[in-house]
Amino acid sequence: MKNSKEHGVKFTAHVRKLKKSSYPPEMDDPVEVLVYSQLVWESTSPKADEAWTHLSSGVLDWHELRVSTPAEIAEMCRDTSDLALERGKRLKMMLNHLYQRHHEVTMVPEFEHGKRDLRESIESLDGITPFVAARWLLLCGDIKVVPIDDQLCWMLSNAECVDESATLTEVAAWICRQVRSDHAFDVHATLQAWVNGQSDAVAKKRLKATQTAARGAKRSRAKAIADRGEAQQIAKEKKAEAARRAAAKKEAAEQAAIEAEQRAAERQAAAAAGKTTSKKKSPAKKKIPAKKTPAKKKVTKKKAPAKKKVTKKKASEKKKVTKKKVAKKSASKKKTRSTSRKR
């Protein structure tokens, strides 16, 4: 425990200040001590005395209590506290475990063990709490321990006698080291009297503390949920931003690839166009003379017939003129001859 020495001084001083003591009632049957210890657990001696009176007068034997339901046990004890059903359930479990061990509800065979085995046997009972086991061992097993339950642990912590972060098991073990073995019974009686006088006020304080802790836990949970939601939102936004960047990067890469393909296509087209131009220019030079030669031939052919036609016409005309001249000459000759004849 933290600050053990300082807490030890405070605990010893606090116990000395407590003047009252509440010693347990005398009981001969160890089972009775077990049952009463369960009734006083997280309760007070007056309430346990009242519950014990109702229970002992309401059952014939422990077998009847063993086979009863937790609700029936709570009703027999006239217990209306918040722990009534749990108290009845634990009591039923312990009695049934004893019956399974010894084939009857008895604890006499437990004393056949040594103190170490006896302690292990009692602490291993189904449903038993550390307080009930320690109280039975103190009263019946002559083992010097101080019973501590949650309400007493809370009271010691509130009085700054123990560290507030210590567990019930740690507090119980620490107190046993602080108390001499021959003082354990008296310290238990003193602490039980303190609980009896403060139980109701402690219950209210514990309830208030529990409610405050619950509200604090609720706020913490709400804050944690809000923080988690905010963190999730931030993570979501970061993820979305990363997705946008990745998409933009991908789009840019795709665009760059497209542009590269276009440039490559343009280069290929330009190269192909250059080859085509060079191919087209070479045949053009060869074809120019070929085209001119037929053109001249065609013109010659066309002109030749035209000349021939003109020549034929002229020849025919010349023939006609010649014929006319010949006819005229022949006519003139005939006239001359006729004239000469007349003479």
Closest among 74, 103, 76, 101 to 90, alpha carbons compared: 74
CB 192 within 8 A of CB 235: no
| The two three-digit tokens of residue 39, written as one number | 């009734």
Which three-class secondary structure state does DSSP give residue 257? Answer: helix
CB 1 within 8 A of CB 162: yes
What was the pLDDT predicted at 313?
A: 53
**The domain made up of 4-211 is a member of CATH 1.10.340.30:** yes
What was the pLDDT predicted at 205?
A: 80
- The C-alpha angle with vertex 282 and arms to 276 and 287, in degrees rounded to 5, equals 120
What distance in Å separates the CA atoms of residue 151 and residue 81, rounded to the nearest whole number? 14
What was the pLDDT predicted at 207?
A: 76
- Report the Cα–Cα distance between both ends of the chain, in Å, rounded: 194
Which three-class secondary structure state does DSSP give residue 283? Answer: helix
For the chain (length 343 residues), average pLDDT per consecutive 10?
89 93 93 97 95 93 95 95 95 97 95 93 96 97 94 94 94 94 95 90 78 82 83 87 90 90 88 73 52 49 47 56 64 60 51
If you search the block for the tokens 């509440």, which residue do you land on? 22
Q: The pTM is what?
A: 0.64
What was the pLDDT predicted at 343?
A: 47
What was the pLDDT predicted at 23?
A: 94
What was the pLDDT predicted at 202?
A: 79
What distance in Å separates the CA atoms of residue 71 and residue 321, rounded to the nearest whole number? 164
What distance in Å separates the CA atoms of residue 162 and residue 174, rounded to the nearest whole number? 9
What was the pLDDT predicted at 341?
A: 55
Angle between helices 168-178 and 150-158 (to 10 degrees): 70
Rg (CA), the chain: 65
What distance in Å separates the CA atoms of residue 278 and residue 280, rounded to the nearest whole number? 5
What was the pLDDT predicted at 209?
A: 76
What was the pLDDT predicted at 324?
A: 65
What would the pLDDT profile of 123-170 be if each residue is shown by its tens digit? 999 999 999 999 999 999 999 999 999 999 999 999 999 999 999 999
Position 1: which residue type?
Answer: M
Longest dimension (CA), the chain: 218
